[in-house]
Amino acid sequence: MRGFLGSSVGVTCAAALALPLTLPATAAQAGPSTVTSEAAAPGSTQSLPLVPLTRKRSLGPSAQTQGLARRDVRPFSLVGVIWDDPASELNGRVQVRTRTAGTGDWSDWQDVETHNDEHAPDPDTAESTSRRVHGSTAPLWVGNSDGVEVRVEAEKAARDATQGPEEDGADGPEDRRLAAPVAAPLPGGLRLELVDPGGDPPAPDTRTAGRAGGVPSGLRARGVHAGAQGTGASGGDGVAGSEAAAGGEGARATVIPALSRQETERTYFPDGRTDRRATPYIGPRPTIITRRGWGANENLRERGFLYTKTVKAAFVHHTASGNKYTCSQAPSVIRSIYRYHVVSSGWRDIGYNFLVDKCGNIYEGRAGGVAKAVMGAHTRGFNTNSMGIAVIGSFGSTKPTDAALKAISRLTAWKLGLYGADPRGKTYLKSAGGNLYRKGKNVRLNVISGHRDGFATECPGRLLYGKLGTARTTAARYQGR
């Protein structure tokens, strides 16, 4: 998502499993998980170094136009460009052409969104300072392809040059003249990443789906205790793939089925009350496709889980990966983004806590438990005590579907309700640093915010951002407010 600033950096539950009852006071890592990869094709990433496309090949990595000529490659479905230093910006234009496998047809040139560092771990965290981390563009879904061509051109900016008084004796504004445009250097170590999502996972097993689910840590027998201290054990709420360490039947579930509002209250508030009122404001749990359901290879991510104290806000994003996908392809898109975030960008897991496709299907994102306060890497500077929901697609000039908007409302009504948050309300989050708010500043934000509210970026796209008011109202209604 191109930043506004030139310097922008961007299941029915049959029984709850045994759970830890508290959340950590600060981000904490739980014990290692023992998850194995799913029975599906593993996927792969081809990483190809870019070369100068100018005649002066002697310029080497400093050339202001780099890329790769048209070539045959192994099958892939998603592309992106990475570079060595995550603190460096790619100020320029990235375009790709791809050849559709089977037909041999080449696409037109497609732009890849270059400003992506606002989707990132918070500054100075172990995840952001890992030596594995790279700078990266947004990923672009292109579908099954076997040929590629790419070009990266540095952005050219005009500069002023002053004619010195020793040349004509003048020193006024008239001395200012426009010099030839100068291209900012491209970051070092540019590589093209071609991601094959691998095969689809087995079809959902409805025999085990009903056994997954449970209660988020932090929900005691007598209600929500957002400020409770402690560390979570591996597996939290026993939900499917990311909770396989719990070792129950839920670890094999591919879908967490929806609950009615009454069932939700009985499941998450079993004694029928919270600390503050007889009936909690919580929306019915929606159907959620688990990590196993979309085919996550759990061997890719880091072993532990990271948690924060609570969930005070939800940031809505778009993936900026384009809209040329079908709903049946959404699991493949998510597997590709997951692999791109982990293998290419160097993060510990997929950045988002949840993803939503154009048909309104909701998917579990970062591992650790769908009902728990899992720390993501979605809104640089505000990943603590928040969650990130990414709608798959690009919404600068394309309207989000009604189904996707409804899914956002249903998901936030449930998840925010677990932690006592009003979707129509305001809350305060402390900035960890970014291009809008300095580190340490307490920032007043909507409980349901767009990414651009915490970071100078176009995300989640103008047309999705404009619908967040409706999402807030609808989510509050689902909560019974």
Distance between CA 84 and CA 185 in Å, rounded?
14
Of the candidate ranges 60-74, 103-117, 376-390, the one whose mean pLDDT is the lowest: 60-74
Distance between CA 5 and CA 110 in Å, rounded?
23
Q: List the one residue out of 229, 253, 230, 232 whose CA is nearest residue 241.
A: 253
Distance between CA 186 and CA 181 in Å, rounded?
15
H or E segment to which residue 337 belongs: helix 330-339
Of the candidate ranges 103-112, 269-278, 332-341, 447-456, the one whose mean pLDDT is the lowest: 269-278
Cα distance between the two ends of the chain:
34
Of the candidate ranges 182-186, 202-206, 309-313, the one whose mean pLDDT is the lowest: 202-206
Tens digit of each residue's pLDDT (9 = 90 or more) over 393-411: 999 999 999 999 999 999 9
Q: What is the mean pLDDT of residues 443-455?
A: 93
CA neighbours closer than 13 Å in the CB half-sphere of residue 433: 10
Beta bridge partners of 390: 317, 355
Neighbour count for residue 149 (Cβ, 10 Å):
18
Band (pLDDT 50/70/90 cuts) for residue 233 is very low
What sections of 35-111 are H helices per DSSP? none
Angle between helices 402-418 and 468-478 (to 10 degrees): 50
pLDDT at res. 159 = 52
| Helix, strand, coil shares, percent, the chain, to 5 | 20, 25, 55
Band (pLDDT 50/70/90 cuts) for residue 182 is low
CA neighbours closer than 13 Å in the CB half-sphere of residue 438: 2
pTM of the model: 0.80
pLDDT at 89 over 50: yes
